Structure 1
C-alpha cells in the first residue's frame, strides 16, 4: 500500500485536563448535539468498588449516551497502559461501527498517549528482578520506593504518585533491568498516530482549582464515600491491592485502619489530589496540539468539534 492509498486514521475526541475540572460535564454537553459515546480514560474510574471516590458518572449521566470502561474492575485487579489500550481499541472500534464518535474522557495522560501513538518499546523484565523489587517495595513501603525512584529516574517519579505502587514498581524494574530510565524508553514512542485525535484540554490554574477540589471531596463524603470504602474493605481486605492505591481510596483506607483521623484523612486527601492535579497540568501542557478551553465553556468546544468532525469525515 502506498502513502497515497493509506487510509486515514479513525477520528476520536479526547477531553483531558486535571482532576475536578468537569471533563465529563463537557463531554455530556457534546452529547446533547452530537451522536457520541464516552470512553473512560482514567486509571482509577475503572474500579467497581469506588464509583463515588473516583467520581464515576452516575446512572443519570450514563443514560445520556453510551459509556464504556467505567466501574468494571475488582479492587484486587490491576490495569496498566497496555491493557487499557487493548480494551479501548476494541471499544472504539465498536463505537465507530455503530456510527458514533468516540469521546475519551480522563486525566491519565499516559493511557491516552499510548492509545494514540502506541506503547513505548520497553524490554521484558527478568522474573528475578520483578520478585526482588516487589519484595523490597512491600517491606520498605511505597514512600521509600518513590524516593529511590526519584534518584534513579526523577522524570518518571515526578509523573507518578508515591501511592501508585504499580507505576513506581515498574519504574524501578525497568531502571534496574536495563540501566535505562523508563522515562527515556517512553520518549522512543512512535509519533505516527493510530487515530485522528482532536484533544480538548480544560484550562485552569491550581489556585482556582483548589476550592473546587475541596468542595468535591465534601460532596463525595456527603454521597457516602466512607461507607463505600468500608464495603470495599470488607470485599478486599488487602491494603496492597491495586484498587486501594488511588487518591481518596488510600486516605480513607488509612482512616478505616485507624492510621489517620477523619480530619487528617480529608486533609491528606485534598493535599494529594492537589498535587496530582499539578502533575496532570504539567503533563498535558507538554502535549502538542491541545485546544485549551475554560472549564465552563460550552458553545465554542461544541463548534470546534462539529467543524473538525465534518472535516475529518470529508
Structure 2
C-alpha cells in the first residue's frame, strides 16, 4: 500500500477545476483526488461554488453527496445557514485560511466550482475599501427598502455614472458594494476598478500570493452536448424532491426571499408554488432555461480566464487525471 506523501510546502501547488454549471466538475475533482492519493499525494477538494456553502440547500445545489464526500476529503461545504449574513468577504477569509493550512502541511488544494466571481476574488483579491459606517449601510438599506434595486442603481449612477458599465443591472450585491465604496470614501468605484483592471483581471498567474503554482483545468463541451445534460439535471432535481425541499424550508419559517433562496432552482419553485395551476413540466422548463443562461455567462467569463487547459469532461477523464498527477509530482 502506498503511503500518502506531502508535496514541498514551499511550492504551494494548487489545482483549479472550473467550468460551466452541470459539466461534471464534482466527479472530475473526486477522480483527480483519488488518482493523487493512489500515487501517494495528499489533496483536499475546496469548494468555491457559493450555493454549496448553505446547510439547508441540497437538491437544488447539486452539491457533492455524502457518498461522494466519503470518497475524498472536501471542505467549505455546509458551512453556513441561509439566514446568516454571509458574503464574498467572509468566504475569502475562510478559504484563505483553509488553503494556507493545506499548503503549510504539504497538501494540495483542489479548488472546485463554477462561481467565477468567487474564483477571481480568491485568486486575484477583492477591491479594497474602507469599512462602511453603519449610518451609510442604513441609508442604503432604506433606499433598497423603498425603491428596491432600481433605487440603488439610480443612486449609484448619480455618484458614479460609469459604474453600471461594469456591473450587471441585477447584481444587487456588487451594486450595493459599489455604493458603499462611493458613499464611504467619496471616490468613484469605477476609478478604483479601472486601476485594478490595469493588472489583467483574467490572469490567474498574476495573483495575490506569488508563491502559488496553479494548474487550471477548465471543463467544457459544446452547447449541443451540454444542454441535454442541463435539462436532465433540472428534471432529476424536481423528481428527487426539490419542491418538497423548498416546501419544508417555507414551513420552517423561511420566506423564500432570502438571498440564497433567490438562486436558480429555488426561486423557480417558490414562484411555482404561488401559481394557481401547477405543472411540473413548466417548472422543469423554467429551471432549464435559467440554468442554460447561467452556463452561457459562466462560459463567457471562463473563456477570458488564463492560463487554463481545456478538457472534455466526458472524453478526457484519463488525460485530466494524468496531467494533474504530472503537475503534482513535478
TM-score computed with the length of structure 1 as normaliser? 0.83
What aligned pairs does 1:230-249 form with structure 2 within 5 A after superposition? 230-249=247-266
Unaligned regions of 5+ residues in structure 1, if any?
Answer: 1-6
Moved more, 58-67 or 118-127: 118-127
* Aligned CA-pair RMSD: 2.9
Give the match for residue 26 of structure 1: 28
1:221 has 2:238 as partner? yes
Indicate conservation of the 8 Å contact 2:217/2:311, yes or no.
Answer: yes
1:41 has 2:60 as partner? no
Give the match for residue 282 of structure 1: 300
What aligned pairs does 1:1-314 form with structure 2 within 5 A after superposition? 8=10, 10-35=12-37, 36-96=43-103, 99-142=106-149, 152-157=163-168, 162=170, 165-174=172-181, 178-181=187-190, 183-184=193-194, 187=197, 191-194=206-209, 195-258=212-275, 261-262=278-279, 263-296=281-314, 297-311=316-330
Indicate conservation of the 8 Å contact 2:52/2:63, yes or no.
Answer: yes
CA apart distance, 1:65: 0.8
- Radius of gyration: which is bigger? 2
CA apart distance, 1:279: 1.2
CA apart distance, 1:223: 1.3
Matches of 1:260 and 1:183, distance apart in 2: 47
Indicate conservation of the 8 Å contact 1:121/1:185, yes or no.
Answer: no
Matches of 1:229 and 1:207, distance apart in 2: 31
Q: Relative to structure 1, is the Cα distance of residues 183 and 97 closer, same or farther in structure 2, using a 3 angstrom cutoff?
A: closer
For 1:57-94, what per-residue CA distance to the aligned partner results, in whole angstroms no more than 9, with x for missing partners?
01110111111111221111243222112111222234
CA apart distance, 1:232: 1.8
Q: How many residues align?
A: 301
TM-score computed with the length of structure 2 as normaliser? 0.80
Matches of 1:213 and 1:140, distance apart in 2: 35
